[in-house]
Each structure stands twice: as C-alpha cells, then as structure tokens.
Amino acid sequence: MPRERITFIASDAPDAQAALARLRKRYGEAGDNADVIVGLGGDGLMLSCLHRIMSGDFVDNPLPIYGMNQGTLGFLMNPYAEDDLLLRLSVAESSSLHPLRMKARGQDGRIHDALAINEVSLFRETHQAAKLRIFVDGRMRLESLTCDGILLATPAGSTAYNLSAHGPILPLDAGVLALTPISAFRPRRWRGALLQHEAVVRLEVLEPGKRPVSAVADNSEVRNVAEVEIAEDREVTLKLLFDPGGALGERILTEQFAP
C-alpha cells in the first residue's frame, strides 16, 4: 500500500514536540486520510500508539506505524532523521504483532477485558507472597506457585520486563510465548515455561482474601483478581515499519548476542 500520506503523533517531550512541528511543516498532515502513522518518541509512545490503534482511535483500518526515536528507549523505533522520510517509508520492512487478550475476573465477579502487546503480569498487592495455580489449555500444570508474581510475554515483549525477570528472549516468528515467574519462592527450581502461541493460560489466585493479587495488561491494571485467562488474539494484527535490515525480528535476534 502507498505510504505517502502521513499522520504524525509525538510524545510530550520538548524534542519530540519540536520535531513534530518541523515534520508537519515539511511533509504535511494527512489526518484521517493517512496511509501511515509516524510516531516521534520512545518505546512508551509506540506502545501508546499501538493501543490507540487497537481501540479504533485513528481509523477503522489499522495503519502501519513507523517510529523515529525521540525518547530514552528506542527498541521499537528507527533512528531519527528528517530528510528522505518518504523514501524511507517506501522501502520500510513490516513486522506483524498479535497482542495478548486478558480476561480477569475480580473477587467481586466482574470481568475485565484488556489487550497487551508486551505482557500480562500478575503481582502481589501486599507484603504477603502470591499463591497461584497454573492451567494451560484446561490442564493443571502447577498446583501452587508461591511468588511475587508471574507474567506471560509475547516475543515483542520478551526483551522488556520478561528479560528483567530472567525470562528468555523469543524470536519474533518462533510461535511461542514465555511464562515467567517473578521471584518464585516455591517451587524453588521452577524457572518458567515456553508455550505454543495458541495456548490458553489460566491463572487461579489461591487465598485471594489473604494474598490479594493485581493483573496488568501492559498499562491496564485490575486489582483484587480471583482468576485471569490469557490467550493470543490472532484477530488483531498490528504492523510496525522498520528501515531495511532493522526489522523487529532482527533486533530481537541481535539482542540475544548482546554482551
């Protein structure tokens, strides 16, 4: 598809806002008639933009996003340059992402639905450790995990919080998800699992009154959950654009060999 009509978005950072003004003056602003979104900021801006697309904030047909780094972190972004933007967009390589869908049932029985691009995480809310029971595709796999929490990460999110929690880096097209404990106490030797991307994970909170747990899908938090079900939503496809040789799959592979 053509990538000549651009709508620009930017973080609130002064440098990003200044770049936004210059690029709009130079390339114009297509608004709802755009073929592509150019985001100016860091990874936080990119995740925010992806969530806006999933909520239908821009147009009915989700647009590809080309990010240029004007923030602190830029794993999902391209280098910033104002020249030859139309040429860069025309030759950019596309990477497709599918988010995780979280369905969290609160202790009050209410169901909360949210999407996550990086990971869905469960965390203890107090000084008491969380106790969780783990089901995969309806089969109990771990009767009781005592921990600070647990997360299910996508390949795109495997280099983020999952890596900090000592989870594995996942190649983009590997077709797997990472289930990673956070500060597991019992069983001491359990370090997590790799699951097929079609897997449905259900996490049951044990002793929720004594050991309250919150669930977080990227930046959407639900407190005092009783049970959380997580599965990849293949009906939602997000497209990120990268300069040739710098696509997301290559970046994730490179990260595995970082010193």
Stated as kind and residue range, the H or E segment containing 11 is none
In this prediction the pTM is 0.89
Stated length of the chain: 259
Q: Is 162 annotated as a binding residue?
A: yes
Encode burial over 207-244: b for 16+ CB neighbours within 10 A, e otherwise: ebeebbbbbbbbebebebbbbbbbbbeeebebbbbbee
Q: Is 160 annotated as a binding residue?
A: yes
Q: Write out pLDDT tens, residues 211-226.
A: 999 999 998 999 999 9
207: pLDDT strictly greater than 70: yes
Token pair for 248 = 């997301």
For residue 39, is pLDDT > 90?
A: yes
Domains annotated for the chain, with CATH where assigned, are 6-97+237-255 (3.40.50.10330), 100-232 (2.60.200.30)
Answer whether residue 185 shows pLDDT above 70.
yes
* Residues annotated as catalytic (active site), given as ranges: 43
Is 220 annotated as belonging to a binding site? no
> How large is the average pLDDT for residues 128-138?
97
Percent of the residues in the chain that have a pLDDT greater than 90, as a whole number = 79
Query: What SS3 state is found at 105?
Result: strand
Return the percentage of the chain with pLDDT > 70, whole number: 97
The overall average pLDDT reported for the chain is 92
Ranges of beta strands (E only) in the chain are 6-10, 36-41, 65-69, 93-97, 100-106, 111-116, 119-124, 130-136, 139-147, 149-153, 176-182, 193-196, 200-206, 213-217, 220-222, 225-232, 238-242
Amino acid 59: pLDDT: 53
**Is 146 annotated to bind ligand?**
no
Report whether 161 belongs to an annotated binding site. yes
